[in-house]
Structure 1
């Protein structure tokens, strides 16, 4: 008589569909924002102190009207060099990017990564029902992927 020593076999569970990895799970929600009437001096001070490279620009009601970045600020810095002005009094509205591409919080992180590659942007404001709810940066996406388990792919 031959006995089997394999023990009790576990019944394989049914594979579940992986939970989608969404922008909402990796975006920043505690945002620094600027107003169109802020000066480039104010922007430079905040960007430097907070160690960020850009932020959304909102109106009085909190609606998104643009985005300001370090690159946008460089325009005023260069102008100051030519006019020998150490201060940068220009308004955000003069240098911000007003045609802003936004993402939905329900967009998959993989689709967001594709947008970063396609559009060569470093950050996207995240809007839900027309309201600014966050921002996702290229760094946020890069930091997310090493944390993912093989089953979520």
Structure 2
């Protein structure tokens, strides 16, 4: 995360927690020449559009006053959707057996993009890591090296259907 993302995260995360949400990801980008801050929240049972609006109304004034952001921007609050972001060990643990897409900050064995079934999620602190099946072998990736990771919902569903069709049970 860069300085601006850290600033937004440090203000949004405690607010989200106090409102009963979990902040999953903070992203920034440019759309139609405008800076956009997109934050993903979740809660048990899922978030509604009303939850997103409520959180946006609470966070907007805080960012205006306290965040160290350059220039004007649009604020978007979203549910995680089907391809939910994964950034904590418990997020990965909940998706064991499902297909994930992972992008690392720096290349690992010459690659930065990995997609495959999630085999393991274990460890603590700087030792926390996941294992993803890539080309028939387990690829270990430390959480600290991950830039972005998501569940690939449709690939996971296709994998489950393939397992059911062949009589094997796949998670």
Using structure 1 for the length normalisation, give the TM-score: 0.26
Q: Highest CA radius of gyration, 1 or 2?
A: 1
More strand by share: 2
Using structure 2 for the length normalisation, give the TM-score: 0.24
Structure of greater relative contact order (alpha carbons < 8 Å, 6+ residues apart): 1
